[in-house]
Amino acid sequence: MKRIALIVTTYNRPDALAAVLEGCLAQTDRDFEVIVADDGSAQDTSDLVAAYQARAPFAIKHVWQEDTGFRAAAIRNRALAATDAEYIIFIDGDCVPPPEFVSSHRRLAERGWFLSGNRMMLAQELTGKALRNRLPIHLWRASDWFKARRQGQIGRLLPLLRMPVPGWLRKLLPERWQGAKTCNLSAWRDDLLRVNGLDESYTGWGLEDSDLVIRLLRAGIHSKSARFSVPVFHLWHREHDRSGLEENRRRLQEVLQATHVRAVKGVDQYL
């Protein structure tokens, strides 16, 4: 049985991180570890992680780096270096997993493929209510979500559908990189190391996950859809600073035209 690490990226949002960790505690499959990949949060996040470390029936590690701006690629690389688990699941610290999240990723994992899941977006009002009242949205039933949809508090219901999708259909677009995001992405650790993890050359928010997926494809690791099996519930947040997005788009276009597999500045510096 493969050992799994769930890497949760966070930055100064302990209330949202608490909701995510509650979702982790409720997993039907508890044979995994959590690595909180902390991009420079304050002491309240450390205190929160310590409280959950005392409660959890699985290991929780806290990997922290200094706050010098948005460096999600760097903290994910540090977290990747901090585990020897065979299989890695990436989510964000504002994406709450339902109880079957880990078990579904485990079931769908396959050598030669990475998994790309989807997310359901919560509106600002519902997010605020869920965090203030510590609502267990990871345990909500279909009727709860239908009610939220009628009230305009969530986006599409489609990500919630659980369907027995045949394996061949999940592999219908093996070279697709568009839409794959590290808020719900999993891969074998040795495949991630082969491409040297995420590329820290990207500065600020945006597209470092697309770069990773493109290089995985180039290394012969194909895209397998995990839709209708492994959704996450994405809590609302203000839009990140996108001042560096145009430069990141330029960099991604260069990557699309290049042939390299390994990140220019990647995880090897932490190994």
Measure the CA angle with vertex 123, ends 141 and 5; round to 5°: 65
Tell me: the pLDDT tens digits for 60-82? 999 999 999 889 999 999 999 99
- Which residue, chain included where needed, has tokens 């599409």? 156
Of the candidate ranges 11-15, 35-39, 90-94, 118-122, the one whose mean pLDDT is the lowest? 118-122
pLDDT over 70, % of the chain:
96
Considering the segment(s) 4-270 as one domain, its CATH architecture is Alpha-Beta Complex (3.90)
pLDDT at 17 over 90: yes
Q: Give 152-168 pLDDT, tens digit per residue.
A: 999 888 777 777 788 88
Q: DSSP character for 151?
A: T
Residue 1 pLDDT greater than 60, yes or no: no
| DSSP notation for 202-234 | --SSSSHHHHHHHHHHHTTPEEEE-TTT-EEEE
Residue 244 above 80 pLDDT? Answer: no
Q: What is the pLDDT of residue 178?
A: 81
Task: Decide the pairing of beta strands 184-188 and 113-116.
Answer: antiparallel
120 DSSP β-pair partners:
233
On average, the pLDDT of the chain sits at 92
Give helix then strand counts, H and E, for the chain.
10, 10
What is the C-alpha to C-alpha distance for residues 215 and 198, in angstroms, rounded to an integer?
Answer: 9
Rounded to two decimals, what is the model's pTM?
0.94
Q: Mention every residue, 6+ apart, whose C-beta is less than 8 A from residue 60.
A: 21, 33, 34, 35, 36, 49, 52, 53
Per-residue pLDDT tens over the stretch 172-210: 999 888 878 889 999 999 999 999 999 998 777 667 888
pLDDT of residue 98: 96
Comparing CA positions, the residue from 91, 78, 89 lying closest to residue 9 is 91
Structure confidence at residue 242 (pLDDT)? 60
For 86-140, the pLDDT digits (tens) are 999 999 999 999 999 999 999 999 999 999 999 999 999 999 999 999 999 999 9
Q: How many Å apart are CA 237 and CA 231, to the nearest integer?
A: 18
Predicted confidence at residue 240, as pLDDT, reads 60
Contacts of 145 (CB under 8 A, 6+ apart): 120, 154, 157, 160
Residues 174, 208: contact at Cβ < 8 Å? no
Window from 58-62, 255-259, 264-268 with minimum mean pLDDT: 255-259
The structure tokens 């304050």 sit at 42
Q: Is residue 254 over pLDDT 90?
A: no
pLDDT band per the 50, 70, 90 thresholds, residue 241 = low
- Whether the pLDDT of residue 269 is over 90: the answer is yes
Residue type, 81: A
> Which DSSP state fits 158?
G
